[in-house]
Amino acid sequence: MKEGYKLIYQKPKTLRKKRMHYCPGCFHATTHKLTMEVVEELGIQEKTIGVCPVGCSVFAYDYMDVDMQEAAHGRAAAVATGIKRMHPDKIVFSYQGDGDLAAIGTAETIHACNRGENFTFIFINNGIYGMTGGQMAPTTLEGQKTTTSPYGRDPKKVGLPLKMCEIVSQFDAVAYVERVSCNTPANARKAKRAIKKAFEYQIQGLGTTFIEVASNCPSGWKCTPEESLEWLKEKVFPYYPLGIFKNPEEK
Amino acid sequence: MSEIKLMKGNEALAEAAIRAGLQGYFGYPITPQSEVMEYLALEEPKHNYVLLQAESEVAAVNMMYGAGGAGARVMTTTSSPGFSLMQEGISYIACAQIPCLFANIVRGGPGLGTIQSSQSDYFQATKGGGHGDYHLIVLAPNSVQEMVDHVYLGFKLADKYRSPAMLLSDGAIGQMMEKVQLPSPIEYKPDKPWATVGKKSGQERNYLTSLYIQPEEMEEKNIELQAKFKKIEENEVRFEEYKTNDAEIIIVSFGLSSRISKKSVDMAREAGLKVGLFRPITVWPFPANKIADIAARKQVKFFISVEMNAGQMLEDVKLAVNGKKPVYFYGRMGGIIPTPKEILTAVQERSRS
Amino acid sequence: MPAKGYVEIFVEGCKGCNLCVINCPTDCLALKTSETNSYGLHYAYMRDEDNCIACQNCAVICPDAAITVYKKAS
């Protein structure tokens, strides 16, 4: 450190040293970092148990320095339910992508939310299946080209993209729902605040907390990280608006 | 304190689980085993276990994965179609080595099938059931008493080997009422340093996974699992013999059909036929060595596998006998329970031919 | 006047996504396109060491937590 200066930001100690495998600019990595910053700030590393999904973040347990379980595809909400029911004093989160949470695991997601399971969903919505090579997701936008919708998503054939925040905020037992992004420093700071609030509400026992991160996938979208930010602003946010859908402080 | 009661098989199973220190039950109703969750729901206020009716068997088995992974003594019960739905989760549980107990109160299939008693899930139970190379420890009770005893044993073996264990029962044993001796409740104090209960300060985090993306690591994990299965095969084989010492004909039968076959043995003896019953109690690990020993006996003329299916355990019996003696089969399917007389007739026909 | 802050970039952790560069309000950062790290990726560096205001924007936006920020002690 240079003389006369003080350290004001460094990688959280709750993030392991292992280099993350995510592509350059991927919000998965950003969200891992922000989540672990929250765990560090709240001093809950020894009380936190995470569940990671199948998809790009299948190796999340390699990076997050908390106890974790790797779930089968779509079942993270059920696994998190099992953990939290046995350990109501622990902080439990599921970390899931759109295919996991909103396609193959829709039943588990909906029912965990309806029961008000007192854990936090961290939901990465990047509108594509990244890990398997860019196939159509339940959240792929209308007209968006993927390897399994090479002519663009046709709503007549496969329906419109699912709006999970809008859906889960309908349940009485769900306490807090917010859609955030990491496309600017300001939004990344908001995302971190949202994750922190979710964990705090969970600690207060308010019910299900659900944070959707409107994410990018430069590799799957076949663009640069910078271009992916443009796509977010132009295409994603108009359909998936950022903001709070349910707030326990307004009850 | 132990006590004697008249109980239905499914309820006895539930009561045994409570007494064995059950901490979490996750299930989905399906005939003919719904009494298990109903009983646990009624008893819930008196105890400390978590009971949750899941949205599906798929969710239930994954709640088991989560709760069992977090160190709890967990159980689920289901019947055939539900057990099929659980196979994905069981494969993950087997690889992540999470101790937990399943009970399949089998009904006749395939498909939606019938709600009547059957043994047609033998293959599914003993050969893995889901994807990948694995086994569950499979106990086959043939009485309400054993529904109780095998719950204790199943939990114990699951913890000992960090493995899923199961009861392969059937609708008749689940539904019938018999006198049972209920053992004293135990205070369950698990020692599971691998469980995900929060990272200890200064220690590495715990994580449970079945993902080993490098083939070398995946093979290494398989070698580790196979070594464990071998140990279980060496140490945990259980069986029962009835009048086999001087027997010339050996009926091999498990679960409900073994009880019927026992009666057939007595009837055969009265008719002058030297018949004995060999009953695997663990259907995995299968008592193959013992069957091979019996096959080597001079006076033994043939084996007949009696099952309530199309001949599934038959394959294991044949492998164990390994051509030393003929192995025949008698079975009924689709929820039909054979009578002792039918089995005797089948034995007599084989003995004449 | 000395800068209000400075950053250190962990070269091996940087994947060259450029998000820190485009989010620096004082244009202090750039990608070193003439060199790569051991993963074969260009990496960000402090192009201008005099104008960092220690706003942390680069560190916040960096997906890989490769940036450490220091501020002039007051």
pLDDT surpassing 60 at residue C1 = no
Coil, strand, or helix at residue A214?
strand
Q: How far apart are CA A56 and CA A23, in angstroms?
A: 10
* Minimum Cα–Cα distance from A32: chain C residue: C63
* Minimum Cα–Cα distance from A110: chain B residue: B55
Which distant-in-sequence residues (6+ apart) come within 8 Å of B248 by Cβ? B273, B274, B275, B299, B300, B301
Residue entry with tokens 């908390």 = A66
**How confident is the model over A160-189, as pLDDT tens digits?**
999 999 999 999 999 999 999 999 999 999
Q: How far apart are CA A27 and CA A158, in angstroms?
A: 26
* Minimum Cα–Cα distance from C62: chain A residue: A30
**How confident is the model over A94-106, as pLDDT tens digits?**
999 999 999 999 9
pLDDT value of position A2: 87
Q: Which amino acid is at B79?
A: S
Mean predicted confidence (pLDDT) in A204-220: 98
Q: How far apart are CA A220 and CA A222, in angstroms?
A: 5
Q: Would you give per-residue pLDDT tens digits along chain B (353 residues)?
A: 789 999 999 999 999 999 999 999 999 999 999 999 999 999 999 999 999 999 999 999 999 999 999 999 999 999 999 999 999 999 999 999 999 999 999 999 999 999 999 999 999 999 999 999 999 999 999 999 999 999 999 999 999 999 999 999 999 999 999 999 999 999 999 999 999 999 999 999 999 999 999 999 999 999 999 999 999 999 999 999 999 999 999 999 999 999 999 999 999 999 999 999 999 999 999 999 999 999 999 999 999 999 999 999 999 999 999 999 999 999 999 999 999 999 999 999 999 97
pLDDT value of position A250: 83
Reported in sequence order, the residue ranges of B149-286 that DSSP labels E, i.e. its strands, are 164-170, 177-182, 207-208, 239-242, 249-252, 275-280, 282-284
- To the nearest whole angstrom, how far is the Cα of B68 from the nearest Cα of chain A? 8
Which residue in the set A66, A87, A111 is minimally distant from B205, CB to CB? Answer: A66
Considering chain A, what is the average pLDDT of its residues?
Answer: 97
Whether residues B197 and A81 touch (CB distance < 8 A) is answered with: no
pLDDT surpassing 60 at residue A51 = yes
> B and A: touch, per 3+ CB pairs < 8 A?
yes
Torsion of the alpha carbons at C58, C62, C67 and C69, rounded to the nearest 10: 40
Report the Cα B138 to chain-centroid distance in Å: 3
Whether residues A111 and B59 touch (CB distance < 8 A) is answered with: yes
Q: Please report the residues numbered 1 through 60 in chain A whose beta carbons come closer than 8 angstroms to any beta carbon of chain C.
A: 1-2, 4-12, 15, 19-20, 22-30, 33
- List chain A domain ranges: 27-250
Q: Which residues of C touch A24 (CB under 8 A)?
A: 15-17, 41, 63
Q: How far apart are CA B109 and CA B335, in angstroms?
A: 8
pLDDT value of position C59: 98
* Minimum Cα–Cα distance from C72: chain A residue: A5
Structural domains in chain C, CATH included, are 5-71 (3.30.70.20)
Q: How far apart are CA B315 and CA B121, in angstroms?
A: 14
Could you check whether B3-235 and B239-352 share the same CATH topology?
yes
**How confident is the model over B279-328, as pLDDT tens digits?**
999 999 999 999 999 999 999 999 999 999 999 999 999 999 999 999 99
Which helix (H) or strand (E) segment holds residue B80: the answer is helix B80-96
Nearest to C65 by CA among C22, C20, C31, C28: C20
Nearest to B138 by CA among B256, B232, B26: B232
pLDDT value of position B195: 98
Q: How far apart are CA A21 and CA C33, in angstroms?
A: 22
A32 shares contact with chain B (CB less than 8 Å) = no
Reported in sequence order, the residue ranges of B191-297 that DSSP labels E, i.e. its strands, are 207-208, 239-242, 249-252, 275-280, 282-284
Q: How far apart are CA B75 and CA B49, in angstroms?
A: 11
- List chain B domain ranges: 3-235, 239-352
Mean predicted confidence (pLDDT) in A58-79: 98
pLDDT value of position B2: 85
Q: How far apart are CA B9 and CA A97, in angstroms?
A: 43
CATH number of the structural domain A27-250:
3.40.50.970
Topology at the third CATH level for domain B3-235? Rossmann fold (3.40.50)
Show which residues on chain B lie within 8 Å of chain A, measured between beta carbons.
Answer: 23-24, 26, 50, 52, 54-56, 58-60, 62-72, 74, 88-89, 92, 96, 196-201, 205-211
Mean predicted confidence (pLDDT) in A102-124: 98
**Token pair in block for residue B236:** 């945990």
Residue entry with tokens 């609708």 = B171
Q: To probe the interface with B, which of A64, A69, A84, A132 has the most B CB atoms within 10 Å?
A: A69
**How confident is the model over B136-156, as pLDDT tens digits?**
999 999 999 999 999 999 999
Question: Cα–Cα distances in Å, from B144 out to B149, B181, B283, B332?
Answer: 9, 10, 18, 22
Residue B189, sorted as left (phi over 0), alpha (psi -120 to 50) or beta, turns out to be: beta
- In this prediction the ipTM stands at 0.95
- Centre a 10 Å sphere on the Cβ of residue B287 and count the other Cβ atoms it contains: 24
Give, in words, the CATH class of B239-352. alpha beta
Whether residues B63 and A79 touch (CB distance < 8 A) is answered with: yes
pLDDT surpassing 70 at residue A251 = no
Considering chain C, what is the average pLDDT of its residues?
Answer: 95
Q: Which residues of A touch B58 (CB under 8 A)?
A: 75, 78, 107-108
**How confident is the model over C22-51, as pLDDT tens digits?**
999 999 999 999 999 999 999 999 999 999
How are beta strands A128-129 and A135-136 bridged, if at all?
A: antiparallel
